[in-house]
Structure 1
Amino acid sequence: MRLVHRHSLEEKNKEDSGLIIQQLQQNIENIQCRVDKVCQISHRSIDSVQTICVSKSVDELTTKAVVDLGVTHLAENRTEKFLKKYQALESYPSLTWHFIGNLQRRKVKDVINKIDYFHALDTQRLANEIQKRAETSIKCFVQVNISGEESKQGISPEEVNSFIQDLKKFDKIEVVGLMTMAPIDATVEELKYYFSGMKKLQTQIASKKLTHAPCTELSMGMSRDFEEAIECGSTFIRVGTDFFKK
């Protein structure tokens, strides 16, 4: 009886796993379809937008499943979770890792040489710690609080130029772009206002042709608002919920 029961459990587990994979595949296709559509409407190349899978809400097995389905850009926002995922997926050398959350200075040494992009640079003290710990130049996004919300981190738009200018002394930091998060309750009109403002700011900095800060990229847009972000010029979108919804 136990053998039959175990066999039936194994079959059920396989069936459940198959359904999960099927749902993940459908989610990936839906996201890509939406990206393709807004790129077409906005007269942008599909290749000009990189979708990052934010895997912070799922375990290592589910993260591995999306990687097996072709996802190559992953993001985490907590040091401990990132390190667990990084170790679990060490056999996938083609992965590009993004760290998108607040990075405590005392944990910089644990993370900075394992990631490809850091999306939340917003203080000189953090920049100094990255400079001290990084073994190679790190691609960084300066985080901007475009809406001025007190609950959000990031520097104000008015501070961006001087902040980036001050980063010139750090040869281990390359400012590849700007990053922001729109208010969770923003209307479509408000989203476009904030995202367009970020695009203008990014373009302004890029026009300076700074060696340490080419600033050609924009990291903005999540599951709820990535279409508006792409329409306004985002080049990296950070999608979590829509990858793993059931």
Structure 2
Amino acid sequence: MMIVDNVKRLKAEIPDYVTLVAATKTRSVQEILELIDSGVIDLGENYVQEAQEKFGSIGMKARWHCIGHLQTNKVKKAVEIFDMIQTVDSVKLATEIDKRAGTIGKKMPLLIEINSAREENKSGVYPEKAMELIEGISHFENIIVVGLMTMGPVTDDVEEIRPYLRLTRRLFEEIGALEIKNVEMKYLSMGMSDSYRVAIEEGSNMVRLGTIIFGERKQ
């Protein structure tokens, strides 16, 4: 019942307009089915192979989000499983998604991952390069850019993340004000278990929560 209770508490706290994506990396099918029964149907998976294994048991009961770095050699399987890919940060990756989605007649919703803190060891496009990337992929017919995603730096002081969330929200609004083919700025995916409150304050309408739902991961 822990999962159900945690979800109930979160839903009482989180505004209705915020989509709760449960980060389900390493979580069992049994845990995920319990989660779905509690009303959370958006699942975030980091790895295509793990998502594929779970999809075999859960299938269309959930909406599947790719929230981990996606390698181009995994795109073919990814477009078959996922309903949204949140981690697009290059023309090369978007090109492969467009090609693979086209072969199965799918228009793939994407979020552009913003490396808001410009951290060299993290994926994501730097904020000043986001517009160039979006314009570079907007002519593709089998993808649609529906928003932005960011992680922000890892820190014990959640207030340190706020400027990077604010920067990403500003970018989201600037892009949303433009008319660009195949771009509809709907989702601003920011905030995890330790930072979702600040992220919502800064305009997030999609949060990716794991530990606060399931408890600490078993090593």
Shift of 1:188: 3.5
The equivalences for 1:99-110 within 5 A come to 99-110=66-77
Q: What CA distance in whole angstroms lies between the structure 1 residues aligned with 2:93 and 2:36?
A: 31
Higher helix share: 1
1:69 to 33, 38, 57: 38
Higher strand share: 2
Partner of 2:51: 82
Cα-to-partner distance string for 1:141-186 (whole Å, 9 max, x where unaligned): 0001000112211010010111100012211111100110011116
Instruction: Give the alignment's Cα RMSD to 1 decimal.
Output: 1.4
- Aligned 8 A contact 1:105 1:126 in 2: yes
Q: What CA distance in whole angstroms lies between the structure 1 residues aligned with 2:45 and 2:191?
A: 16
Partner of 1:34: 13
Cα-to-partner distance string for 1:18-61 (whole Å, 9 max, x where unaligned): xxxx11111112222331xxxxxxxxxx3321000111131112
Shift of 1:94: 4.2
Q: Runs of 4+ in structure 1 displaced over 3 angstroms?
A: none
Which amino acid in structure 2 is aligned with residue 101 of structure 1?
G
Partner of 2:132: 162
Corresponding position: 1:144 with 2:114: yes
Which amino acid in structure 1 is aligned with residue 24 of structure 2?
S
The equivalences for 1:206-225 within 5 A come to 206-225=176-195
Q: What CA distance in whole angstroms lies between the structure 1 residues aligned with 2:186 and 2:6?
A: 29
Which amino acid in structure 1 is aligned with residue 58 of structure 2?
L
SS of 2:50's partner is helix
1:190 to 152, 160, 176: 160
Larger radius of gyration: 1
Which amino acid in structure 1 is aligned with residue 196 of structure 2?
F
TM-score, scaled to structure 2: 0.93
Give structure 1 stretches of 5+ with no counterpart. 1-21, 36-45
Partner of 1:176: 146
